[in-house]
Structure 1
Amino acid sequence: MILSIDGFEFNNKEPIYLQIIELIKKNIALGLLTPGTKLPSVRELSKELGVNPNTLQRAYGELERLGITYTKRGMGSFISEGENEVMNLKEDMGRQLVKKFIEDMKAIGIDKDEAIEIIKREE
């Protein structure tokens, strides 16, 4: 299987279909899924992940709605073509991580400047 699911485990904090979307996006950002790559069939991946095929179909539908994938009738789902999409995806994922990090730091009383200093010390 092209899609890397090693070590992937579902959590109870968010819907499974959203976690599947993030798994696929991470595989794209890491270069494991490249533009034009065919995704596993709904049946194949739902079996591999141990989820209902309807859940996986929902994830695939949302990926297509976001422009991350496209469907060829009778052939399956494919990663959208173009390097800009991959770069935009990576940047978007990075922004989401930074936003969550800043929110978590604020929750423990650390402001943005202090958080930046902590990061600098960790490099």
Structure 2
Amino acid sequence: MARGRGSAVVVLGLALLCLLVHNEFAEAATYVVGDSGGWTFNTNGWPSGKRFRAGDVLVFRYSSSAHNVVAVSAAGYNSCSAPRGSRVFTSGNDRVTLGRGNNYFICSIAGHCQSGMKIAVSAV
């Protein structure tokens, strides 16, 4: 009989864990970078006042013939450069899931990052 109760506790524990994991993903938010203006120049202040969580999704909307989105490190963000091997998005409607900590994105088209086409997003 004790074996049956132990199994029930394990099953209940696993069910509770699944529920918690499900809630974590169910609460993920989706943000359109730049709001109605989309991913464009001077969007570097867009994250201000927003609270991001790991798992949230950023949607970058832009003209794919004029811009791109590159996930970079803090150094790449600060220098407006995309190191070799950086993840580059070019669809014009890119969805990027935030990781915990700092997430940095730039447009690597010449002069665009320097004109404010970059964002730094911190996710908890």
TM-score by length of 1: 0.28
TM-score by length of 2: 0.28
- The structure, 1 or 2, with the larger RCO (C-alpha pairs under 8 Å, 6+ apart) is 2
Q: Which is greater in Rg?
A: 2
Structure with the bigger percentage of strand: 2
Structure with the bigger percentage of helix: 1
